[in-house]
Structure 1
Amino acid sequence: MKQKTMMKAEWDWQTGRRIVADLNQWKKAYGYVEVPVIRPDGEGAAAIVRTDEAEFSIVSSEGLWEGRWDKIWKLRYGADHRLSALVAEMGAWSMAVDDEVWEESFDFLWTPMQSSDGRHMAASVQQGRQYAGVLDGIIWEKTFFAINDLAMAPAGDRLAAVVQTVALQEGDIEKFQSGCFTVAVNGETWHQNFVNLWDVRFSADGLHVVAAARSSLYDYTVVVDGKSWNQRFDGLWEPLFLKDGRVAVPARSGGKWQLVADGSPLWSRTFAQLWQLVTDPVSGNVAGVCAPEFGKWTLVADDRVWGLRFGDMVMDPVFSPDGRRLACTGKNGNAWTLACDDKVWDHGFEQIWAPVFSPDSAHVGCRVRDKGRYAVYVNGKAVVSGLDFAWDPVFSPDGRRVLIRGVGGEGDLAGKVFREVLEIG
């Protein structure tokens, strides 16, 4: 049964802590318990458990599912709080949603994905040595020799993927170079084949599809709705639809990377590297990870480069909701940290996840792992630490409170999955 997606304003934002599941009890009852998942609002948790020697099921805050399977994979909650997983019985794979399995089963399923509201679910599928996409249990009418880079439209009603339309024998180099791959949208292919394609993406309205492509062994271009740019480059990273409908992409020519939009330079500056583009949700301006010089990493926004430099890596650029702030994760040596507005936090960690801004853009937080323990930081300060596991923080709509979801690591909280709402100091 489908549940209505709850808006964050409808969540319980009263300060305080509540236990939503006890992993100790689950382990005592089932022995084998995988890492749990938690609902977006923190009101429930679930985990894959072994119910017999070669039999698995799913236990949640609401109890144990009736279904039993040989294998379970990719357990997750959707935005509508439905719980789903890929399941296999006697070698046949399907998707289970709230203990109900799709009517159809397949030889294999992978890359499960959900629409932003959780209503639609999809995956890549293999059936009889043929490949396709499957949406809400319905497989494409047309199948192909291979499939990868599955993408879902924001509304969840369309799928696109790179597909192989020409059979290849091992070592058939000439046929490979002539082009055996294209993009299929809901099973319907573009009219042109390429050496290969990758980074398939939908536009925000779901009406257009873009992909990076190799038109030959050495020439790269961008393809939008089956039509190639006239320009050719030495290399490309992931293309991105801009707010005005143009497509931007980091492109390499003459040994330098540059931001290109619809085939023409968007910025005057060039880089040793440029990738991971994001757009300002208000103005539509572009930012990305760049290396102004070899081995020095930072962010660039609207052709302006940060002064901050990292020696090893920069990842996860994120704009604030008002578009005025920009954050990322960065690594120097063995230490990861977060940088925001061209300033770096004082703390370093073994591992760090992508920054999360509050809706009012006033606060930025993330989850981290250090010395084997998890913590959640907001504005550079730990709000909770010493956990066995943690999920990303979630800020209240007014930005005054933060929801912490984690597994306690000591004391009365040890082994307990909990939610806690805290005031932001």
Structure 2
Amino acid sequence: MMQNAISQAAWDWQTGRRIVADLDQWKKEYGYVEEPFMRPDGEEAAAIVRTDEAEYSVICGTELWEGRWDKIWKPGYGTDGRFSCLVSELGAWSVAVDDRVWDESFDFLWTPLQSRDGTRIGAAVQQGRQYAAVLDGNMWEKTFFAINDLAMASAGDQLAAVVQTVALQEGDIEKFQSGCFTVAVNGEAWNQNFVNLWDVRFSEDGRRVAAAARSTLYDYTVVVDGKSWKQRFDGVWEPLFLKDGRIAVPARSGGKWRLCVDGEPLWAESFVQLWQLVVSDAGGKIAGVCAPEFGKWTLVEDGKVWSQRFGEMVMDPVFSPDGRRLACTGKNGDMWTIACDDKVWDQRFDQIWAPVFSPDGNHVGCRARDKGRFGVYVNGKTMVSGLAFAWDPVFSPDGQRVLIRGVGSEGDLAGKIFREVLEIG
């Protein structure tokens, strides 16, 4: 999603390397420099710096923002290329985007979210001893006793969250068990309360909202637009909207996990564990992380379980854009690797990030850390290694080249933030 927000066709895809910023110079000039960030196209880098005693700002390339704040939190580039962060001035929190601050300020802000195109920003907010959400500076009119699990529709025009609608005193077990929590969408709370809810999700078109819920201390279900499924389970994980509008969820009954769609089992298979569901953009295939037996992890795709097994963990299942291929990260012992199409890479790493597919699905890459250094890998082959830091690879629209974004560690690249475009051999 991130790769497509800024038109990739307009990016510089000529092969070659270019220095974008000098991290060592930032450290020399400001002393205190936090983790740098790079724009998706690799054309700009930024970081939080300390400009004076207990005073902070943002450096973008060679330009220092005019704004000065006592705290800066949750910085990062949006998919539209703008740099945003939460900022505090004398205890009043707001949002700064490219050195411009919202007119509104709040007692506290957290969980910043951006629309798919990066143009809209929302967050959870505390104001006075009440809680709500804010979108582009506009706070919900209705407030609540608590708020968490904030979610945003992909278009950025709606926010939803779990909210507490009933005042709860410490130790008031009876009231807690009767249900004090529900979901609010754009500030309007559902009519039914629950013991608790989590994993709030919008449908792709933003018209529907689902959440996992606990209806009693021992019964779990899914709630869609304020209405509960009639089925009750021993446990559920995150609900997933399918392409046809149905809702899939891993659900546990009788000691086994199954994939249920609209409350009914879809696959005949059951598992020791099933979670992290994903659906392909093309074809609507469903996959997830599963444990066919205790202590053995792999992926399942449309009910078919991979033959590969990992002893520690499997994470980050990702479909290729065309839905043909499926990849994940896997851990055996202390080492991580990538598995794609039920085949495992030969390389092993200390740490690894989620796999990234090229637009045509022909290539899969990732960034990884090994022995304190970072590298970028494509199809199991090293593109670059020995870096002080690296960001996820980005593939060109035709899938023939890959953009590397990193911080060098040796020679002329030492301490330099750079972008490099390489041909995929």
Fold shared per TM-score above 0.5: yes
The residue that corresponds to 1:87 in the other structure is: 87
SS at match of 2:26: helix
The residue that corresponds to 2:315 in the other structure is: 315
The answer to whether structure 1 residue 278 and structure 2 residue 278 are counterparts is: yes
The residue that corresponds to 1:183 in the other structure is: 183
SS at match of 2:49: strand
Q: CA RMSD in A?
A: 0.9
The residue that corresponds to 1:158 in the other structure is: 158
Superposed CA deviations along residues 74-125 of structure 1, whole A, max 9, x for unmatched, are 1111111111000001111100011111111111111111111011001111
Superposed CA deviations along residues 286-314 of structure 1, whole A, max 9, x for unmatched, are 10000001100000000000000000000
Equivalent runs, 1:344-359 vs 2, <5 Å: 344-359=344-359
Superposed CA deviations along residues 150-183 of structure 1, whole A, max 9, x for unmatched, are 0000000000000000000000000000000000
Give the Cα separation in 2 of the matches to 1:79 and 1:144.
31
The answer to whether structure 1 residue 148 and structure 2 residue 148 are counterparts is: yes
Equivalent runs, 1:33-72 vs 2, <5 Å: 33-61=33-61, 63-72=63-72
SS at match of 2:175: helix
The answer to whether structure 1 residue 122 and structure 2 residue 105 are counterparts is: no
Structure 1 residue 10 displacement after superposition? 1.0
Letter in 2 for 1:94: S
Q: Which runs of 5+ in 1 are unaligned?
A: none
The answer to whether structure 1 residue 193 and structure 2 residue 193 are counterparts is: yes
The residue that corresponds to 2:10 in the other structure is: 10
The residue that corresponds to 1:267 in the other structure is: 267
Identity of aligned residues (%): 79
Superposed CA deviations along residues 113-151 of structure 1, whole A, max 9, x for unmatched, are 111101100111111111111100111001101000000
The residue that corresponds to 1:219 in the other structure is: 219
The residue that corresponds to 2:289 in the other structure is: 289
Give the Cα separation in 1 of the matches to 2:120 and 2:12.
26
The residue that corresponds to 2:111 in the other structure is: 111
The residue that corresponds to 2:77 in the other structure is: 77
Structure 1 residue 5 displacement after superposition? 5.8
Equivalent runs, 1:252-263 vs 2, <5 Å: 252-263=252-263
Superposed CA deviations along residues 262-297 of structure 1, whole A, max 9, x for unmatched, are 011111100000000000211112100000011000
Give the Cα separation in 2 of the matches to 1:405 and 1:302.
35
Q: Aligned in 2, Cα 1:401/1:380: closer, same or farther, shift over 3 Å?
A: same
Letter in 1 for 2:24: N
Give the Cα separation in 1 of the matches to 2:21 and 2:90.
31
Letter in 1 for 2:134: V
Q: Aligned in 2, Cα 1:114/1:422: closer, same or farther, shift over 3 Å?
A: same
Q: Which runs of 5+ in 2 are unaligned?
A: none
Structure 1 residue 62 displacement after superposition? 5.0
Give the Cα separation in 2 of the matches to 1:295 and 1:24.
45
SS at match of 1:28: helix
Give the Cα separation in 2 of the matches to 1:331 and 1:377.
17
The residue that corresponds to 1:173 in the other structure is: 173
SS at match of 2:74: strand
Structure 1 residue 6 displacement after superposition? 3.0
The residue that corresponds to 2:378 in the other structure is: 378
Give the Cα separation in 2 of the matches to 1:320 and 1:349.
23
Letter in 2 for 1:168: L
Structure 1 residue 345 displacement after superposition? 0.5
Contact 2:5 / 2:116 at 8 angstroms: preserved in 1? no
Give the Cα separation in 1 of the matches to 2:292 and 2:335.
22
What TM-score comes out, normalization by structure 1 length?
A: 0.98
SS at match of 1:328: strand
- How many residues end up aligned between the 2 structures? 422
Equivalent runs, 1:196-211 vs 2, <5 Å: 196-211=196-211
Letter in 1 for 2:270: T
Contact 2:21 / 2:62 at 8 angstroms: preserved in 1? no
The residue that corresponds to 1:364 in the other structure is: 364
Give the Cα separation in 1 of the matches to 2:106 and 2:337.
43
Contact 2:162 / 2:198 at 8 angstroms: preserved in 1? yes
The residue that corresponds to 1:236 in the other structure is: 236
Superposed CA deviations along residues 345-364 of structure 1, whole A, max 9, x for unmatched, are 01111100000000010000
Letter in 2 for 1:327: A
Which consecutive segments of 4 or more residues in structure 1 shift more than 6 A? none
What TM-score comes out, normalization by structure 2 length?
A: 0.98
Give the Cα separation in 2 of the matches to 1:226 and 1:152.
17
SS at match of 1:412: helix
Give the Cα separation in 2 of the matches to 1:35 and 1:411.
21
Q: Aligned in 2, Cα 1:254/1:223: closer, same or farther, shift over 3 Å?
A: same
Give the Cα separation in 1 of the matches to 2:257 and 2:20.
49
